[in-house]
């Protein structure tokens, strides 16, 4: 069971990086959704202003 530490390290890094990337994408997506909301609001506002 020698070198178990290395094995653990390798698999931990793999999962950490992959999950990190997924989280990174999720955070970007939330940011984009916020921007969509803001755009929708401003479109809504300008529609009201036009009327």
Partner 1 sequence: MKGKHVLRDNVLLGLGLALMIAALYMVFVYVPTEKHTGIVQRIFYFHVPLAWSSFLAFFVTFIFSILYLWKRATKWDTIAHASAEVGVVFTTLVLITGPIWAKPVWGVWWTWDARLTTSLVLWLTYIAYLLVRSYVTEPARGARFGAVIGIVGFIDVPIVFLTVNLWRTQHPTTIIFEGGLTTPMLMTLLVCVAAFTVLYVLLTIQSANLKSVEADIKQLKSTQAE
Give residue for tokens 């999962």: 15
Nearest-angstrom CA–CA distance, 24 and 15: 14
User: Residue 25 corresponds to which tokens in the numbers above?
Assistant: 């994408």
Q: If binding is defined by CB under 8 A, does position 23 make contact with partner 1? A: no
Q: If binding is defined by CB under 8 A, does position 6 make contact with partner 1? A: yes
Which residue lies nearer to partner 1 by CB, 6 or 48? 6
Query: Buried (b) or exposed (e) across 21-35, using 16+ Cβ within 10 A?
Result: eeeeeeeeeeeeeee
Site string for partner 1, 24-43 (x = CB under 8 A): -x--xx--x--xx--x--xx
Q: Could you list the residues that contact partner 1 (CB under 8 A)?
A: 1-4, 6-7, 9-11, 13-14, 17-18, 21-22, 25, 28-29, 32, 35-36, 39, 42-43
């Amino acid at each position: 069971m020698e070198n178990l530490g290395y094995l653990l390290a390798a698999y931990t890094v793999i999962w950490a990086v992959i999950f990190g990337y997924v989280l990174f994408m999720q955070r970007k997506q939330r940011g984009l959704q916020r921007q969509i909301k803001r755009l929708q609001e401003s479109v809504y506002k300008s529609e009201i202003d036009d009327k």
